[in-house]
Chain A
Amino acid sequence: MVGLAVVLGWFRPYETAGATAVATVLVVLLVRELVGRLMRRSNPQMAVAARRLGSVVVALIGGTLTLQALGASPDILLLVIGVLGATILIALREPLGNYGAKFFSEIYTPFKVGDSIRVQGFAGKVIEINAMSTILLSDDEQLISVPNVAMVRDVVVNTSPQAWREITIPVAVASAVDLPTFESELRKSLTKLRTRLDPRFPPFLTTKARSPQSTDVLLTVMLRRPEDRDAITLEVNQRVTEVLQRVRATRA
């Protein structure tokens, strides 16, 4: 992209800036596709986040080059972005840490709202997981707020019966994807794993949130044997991604 900007620098600034912007969009699309392919076996939510992060980084670089083509000093732009970023990180260190911890705990920590857990000497039923903390309701009806960072730093014990069986995977189903078709196709795909899953509990989706862009659902599968947890999680993630892509392509 830098080379392209130099070559185009011979032309007038507006044409150069326009071409850089177009190139940036193309590279963003390319990065999204590449990251998506590389993370096929990862959690779908992680893959979405990685695609988004890659796109933002490329867009920032492309935006800087575009502004440079229009005559702005890149050094000053980079300095402004750096200072702003550092300020935000320092000012919001705690909340961002909790938010980040929530993101990771949502994906990798084996508990959800409704489960009973024990963490940092506290025990209770999880009644809320917000951006900052996880709220527990203790047996004596006290509300306990545990910062989300504790959920990734400390030992968390899920004391719900049969908790080891349950794997929950958050999935964002874009509004371009037909949810009934996605669910139906996913169910068919996961049927291939039925000998590894609890026969009493077929996979099912729970709707968590809706927005004009997507429907956030939680996929729950129940294991037959605890030692399969890691392998099944990977396999289910891969199948979710495949089915999402297939259904999206069919609809397109």
Chain B
Amino acid sequence: MAPLSICINTQTPLVQFLDDPDRGRGLPHDGVDLTTLRDGVDYRYSPGGVTRMVYPLVRRLLEKGILDEAHWVALNPRAPATAHLGPMTLHHVALDPERMSGYAAVKEAIWGRVHEIDADDRNEQLFWSEAFAAYEYYNRSTAELIRRLDERHNFDTFYVHDFQQMPVGHMLGTLKPKVFRWHIPFDGAALPEEWRALFTTYLHAYDVLVVSAERYAVSLRALAPKAQVVRYYPYVDPADYTRPDPAAVAGVARRLGISGRADVALVVGRMDPIKGQDLAIRAFAELASDYPRLELVLVGNGSFSGSRAGLGLSKSARWRSHLEGLVRAADLSDRVRFTGHLPQSDLDALYERCRFTLLPSVREGFGLVAVESWLHGKPAIITNRAGISELVHDGENGLLFDPDDSASLPRAMRRLLDGRSGPLRRRLARNGLATSQECSVEAAERAERALLAPPAEA
């Protein structure tokens, strides 16, 4: 098969540029080569699924010669127009602050409805608002940029990611293959009636729709009956997860104030109400007196949407403040740590250090952090609202809990804290590691190649 040329489109950019006025320099110029800049100083990889999943796949396909070039178009208002990372070119779409604000409002409204956490009646008029004009402006600008790139590079396939970018396929106006990956949960019943027709039109513009769990596929097929809907589990590259040396683990634990004999329960996720960190804190508070060595570590900041370099939404800061209030009220400040965003090496050390991980989300498209936990050999307690829960057999490769049942999470935690929990923890870790292979980039490669190759060669 001849090497392919693909165009990827995400809202979140692969990298965010760190502009430090104190260093007396601005953003790099257009066409910057990222290998000449310093990771963590001049730029950083965006946290979340884009970096964890899409990038390893593209890197792997490039290394294997399946792709000969990849262009990645994303929203990145504080970045040079283009940047190069090896054979990959990053293209950035900018928006003026007014349109950015409108775009963000619509995106949040759709996100809230899909996650069933915002049933604001005004949403029914959303498509007639000025904010929606800004949302469409962003997507049309993205589609036009991709079209211009296609004129130069003659792409084989367009791979569009996540709900924010849903109109792009329709706007591209091309007959070439277009694949759309819906990353967040999908329940068509949660959509207002006023939204369904436009969603259907936009979704039908794609050749294939990919979702992360079977339950989303069923719901999506009902909304877009003419679309080909497939379910592929999200994935990570296991090679990215190395076991840190004990000295590094001890150093990170010391720096974060984790006591030497602590039993650490680890929660990794952005600061967001749907991530359910409040459930973890309440469960921890219930168990704190019974397990005096138990400590809770919460890793994560806002997403690209909450960052200054991104959409600038402040919900992550508000949520963290709320969580800190819960901890203070329970008088547990000395046993709960908020670390914020951590570099991968520190995160690896925390996975190594913890006794188990929690995925307490009230809604979760999939839950790759559970896979990360398994790859580090740690048992995971997983919400039954996450897409990944359909891979979990309770008591075999993980423990499931119901976020609507307040006793459910503390009960699951007790099972991993009791003195005789060793065999259970080892079984969950061992079976979890085996399950993680279903979410590895190796397993995904064949499916993704079939999606990305032109139909005649697939």
Task: List residues of A whose CB falls within 8 A of some B CB.
Answer: 179-181, 183-185, 187-188, 191, 194, 199-202, 204-208, 210
Q: Is the CB of B173 within 8 A of A199?
A: no
Does B134 interact with chain A (Cβ within 8 Å)? Answer: yes
Cα of A199 to Cα of B122 in the assembled complex, Å: 13
Closest 10 CB pairs of A and B: A207-B173, A180-B140, A202-B127, A184-B137, A187-B133, A180-B141, A184-B133, A194-B128, A200-B197, A200-B194
Kindly report which residue of chain B lies nearest to residue A187, judged by CB atoms: B133
Asked if A199 meets B140 with Cβ closer than 8 Å, knowing A206-B173, A208-B173, the reply is no
With the chains together, A201 CA to B195 CA distance in Å? 8
Closest to B134 in A: A184
Q: Are A184 and B136 in contact (CB under 8 A)?
A: yes
Minimum Cβ distance to chain A for residue B182 (Å): 20
Chain A residues near B170 (CB-CB < 8 A): 204, 206
Residues of chain A contacted by B44 (CB below 8 angstroms):
none
The closest CB in chain B to the CB of A186 belongs to B133
Q: Which of B128, B134, B144 has its CB near the most chain A CB atoms (within 10 A)?
A: B128
Contact A207 B171 (CB under 8 A): yes
**Closest beta carbon of chain B to A236's beta carbon, Å:** 15
- Using Cβ atoms and an 8 Å threshold, which residues of chain A touch B195? 200
From 197 to 241 in chain B, residues with beta carbon under 8 angstroms from any chain A beta carbon are 197-198, 201
CB B201 to nearest CB in A, in angstroms, measures 7
| Chain B hits for A200, CB < 8 A | 193-198
Contact A183 B140 (CB under 8 A): yes
Tell me the smallest distance from the CB of B431 to a CB of chain A, in Å.
47
Residue on B nearest A207 in the bound complex, by CB: B173
Query: Which residues of the other chain, B, contact A183 by a CB distance below 8 angstroms?
Result: 136-137, 140
Contact: A199 with B144, CB < 8 Å?
Answer: no
Which residues from chain A contact B172 at a C-beta distance below 8 Å? 207
* Chain A residues whose C-beta falls within 8 Å of the C-beta of B147 in the assembled complex: 210
Q: How far is the CA of A208 from the CA of B194 in the complex (A)?
A: 26
Minimum C-beta distance from B145 to chain A (A): 10
Minimum Cβ distance to chain B for residue A6 (Å): 51
Residue in A188, A200, A205 whose Cβ sees the most chain B Cβ within 10 Å? A200
Q: Which of A181, A199, A205, A207 contacts B128 (CB 8 A)?
A: A199
Contact B173 A202 (CB under 8 A): no
Residues of B with C-beta under 8 A to A210:
147, 173
B292 CB to nearest chain A CB (Å): 58
* Interface presence of B30 (CB below 8 A): no
Q: A140 vs B234: C-alpha distance in the bound complex, in angstroms? A: 42
Q: Which residues of B contact A180 (CB under 8 A)?
A: 137, 140-141, 144
A183 CA / B136 CA spacing, docked (Å): 8
Name the distance in Å between A127's Cβ and chain B's nearest Cβ: 14
Residue of A nearest to B174 (CB): A207
> How far is A187 from B127 in the complex, measured between Cα atoms in Å?
10
Q: A194-B128, A206-B173 are in contact. Are A188 and B133 (CB under 8 A)?
A: yes
| A199 and B198 in contact, given A187-B133, A206-B170, A207-B171 (Cβ under 8 angstroms) | no
If the complex has contacts A204-B201, A206-B173, are A199 and B137 also in contact, measured as CB distance less than 8 A? Answer: no
Minimal beta-carbon separation of A33 from chain B (angstroms): 29
Tell me the nearest residue of chain B to A194, going by C-beta. Answer: B128
A150 to B130, CA, bound (A): 43
